[in-house]
Amino acid sequence: MGSKTPSIQQSIKNKNLQSNLDNELNVGLNRRQFLRRIGVGAGAAALATQSISHVLAASPIESNNSSQLTKDDLPALLDERSAQTSLITNCTTPTIETRLFASSNVGGSDERNQLALDRMACAGFKISNPDITNRQYLRFAGTDSQRASDFQNLATGAIAAPKLLLGVRGGYGAMRILPMIDWMTFGRIMKERGTILAGFSDVTAIQCALLAKGSMSSLAAPMLYSEFGKTAPDQISCRQFAQALTNPNLTITIQDASLTSQQLPTILTAGEPKVLTGTIWGGNLSVVSALAGSEYLPRIKGGIVFLEDVGEQAYRIERMLYDLYLAGMFKGQQAIVFGALSGSGEDSYDKRYDVATVVRQLHKLTGLPIYSGMRFGHIGKKHSFPLGATCQLTPNTVGGYQLAFTDYPTIKADAIHVEGLWQTV
């Protein structure tokens, strides 16, 4: 996405406007004032003068081939083509110290990255390293050393820890850099600063290592490219992201198991459901199972295991669950919570062998109560929540359950202008 070089007269005019803006309040800026105030690049200038449909018409988002797709992309493809956008009229001055990390796939579209950066700034997030979105080595968002440095530079003190560390996107690659990071020191610095690390999908590897070796929580949440760079980001996901960042007593209520399987009860237990309290941990099933037997998978006593995935057939889901079962990872746990297991399809040998059959087999193997339908995963309208935090799981009187979270860092709510996360700057 490009923009025309401004005329000398326009440059002088902009300079004078900038001088006048220095005396204005830091809130309630209109979108043109906001763009000039923070000095964003050509991408934002184009978006300020063009409709989003024109900008994206030439974007690779609309013409991705299968070799570019990852699990991040699967739920969003149809949304990209049917999305409706709205122009923003106000932004807040970005004050939330934020750094990006790109531990996995390279971003597929410069325009999409720029749009996401503009939205984040409009919403109040002051990103200090936007150029990270331009890195690439093979399929990855930089060399292993570059990607590891996103975390190790904070551990060594070379770069001050921000309030928010936000993942750019998932895909694959995070496991390659786990041995290159001092997780214990990194976790300690995050605790001292109250830093929130946010992401999901392949970022599960980072989150597991951080909890296992750094004893630090993180946030299961949407990411820069995969959510905030979409033509029209999901407003519920954006609002729930802000809610999880700012609410120190977050609660999520689940009433049905449909996101996991239509054929499952919300609570699968041998006895009467009970109130449980423990550390919730886990993430993407493919990544968690790949870490089985390594030092980077948490060993939580009395924990509550959370798992989600996308595009995996029932037999592959069962294989990964058996990986964890045979590795002893369900021993000593209090319960298993399943999020979305979307896009599993039908078994080619027998349609009766489905996700519900797999989950019931896991319940039989482990004897643990299983709670399904948690609204998180590779889906829209996801509810962000802390991993590695204390979670109280409470069954309700109508067959559902509530998750209540405590003991995790947050951000002041008035620093976030949540509408900026989905509107076009």
Residues with a known catalytic role: 201, 308, 378
Output DSSP code: residue 342. E
Among residues 132, 343, 88, 329, the alpha carbon closest in space to that of 224 is found at: 132
Q: Are 52 and 112 in contact (CB under 8 A)?
A: no
> 164-167 and 96-101 as β-strands: parallel, antiparallel, unpaired?
parallel
Q: Are 203 and 167 in contact (CB under 8 A)?
A: yes
Tell me the C-alpha distance between 405 and 407, whole Å: 7
Q: Which two tokens stand for residue 383?
A: 């509810």
C-alpha atoms less than 13 angstroms from C-alpha of 235 in its C-beta half-sphere: 7
Tell me the C-alpha distance between 419 and 238, whole Å: 8
Tell me the C-alpha distance between 40 and 425, whole Å: 11
CA dihedral sign of residues 386, 210, 178, 318: negative
β-sheet with 385-387: strand ranges across: 125-127, 96-101, 164-167, 196-199, 218-220, 385-387
Tell me the C-alpha distance between 307 and 201, whole Å: 11
Residues in the chain: 425
Q: Exposure of 270 by Cβ count < 10 A (0-12 exposed, 13-18 middle, 19+ buried)?
A: exposed
